[in-house]
C-alpha cells in the first residue's frame, strides 16, 4: 500500500504538462506567442524605467506648482484683509 497515492498522479500530470509545453514551444504559434511575450516584457521594463527616471522631475514640478499656488492664495488673503 502506497503511503501517498496522489504523488504518482501529480507526477503524471507534471510530465504531461511538460510534454504539452514542449509541443507548444516547438509549434510556430508557440514561438510567436513567446516572442510577443518577450516584446511585452521589454516594453513594460522600458516604460517602468522611464517613469522611474521622470518621477523626480514630476515631483519637483508639482511641488513648485503647489508652493506657487499657496503663495498666491496667501497673498490674495493678505490683500483682501488690508
pLDDT tens, 16-57? 888 888 887 777 776 788 888 899 999 999 998 888 887 777
Percent helix, percent strand, percent coil in the chain, to nearest 5: 90, 0, 10
**Cell numbers 503524471 label which residue?**
12
Worst-scoring range by mean pLDDT, 8-12, 26-30, 46-50, 70-74? 26-30
Q: Is residue 13 within 8 Å of residue 22, measured between CB atoms?
A: no
Nearest CA among 21, 45, 52, 46 for reference residue 34: 21
Q: What is the pTM of this model?
A: 0.42
Amino acid at each position: 500500500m502506497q503511503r501517498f497515492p496522489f504523488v504518482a498522479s501529480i507526477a503524471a500530470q507534471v510530465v504531461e504538462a511538460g510534454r504539452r509545453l514542449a509541443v507548444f514551444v516547438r509549434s510556430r504559434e508557440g514561438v510567436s506567442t513567446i516572442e510577443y511575450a518577450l516584446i511585452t516584457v521589454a516594453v513594460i521594463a522600458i516604460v517602468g524605467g522611464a517613469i522611474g527616471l521622470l518621477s523626480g522631475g514630476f515631483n519637483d514640478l508639482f511641488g513648485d506648482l503647489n508652493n506657487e499656488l499657496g503663495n498666491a492664495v496667501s497673498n490674495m488673503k493678505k490683500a483682501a484683509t488690508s
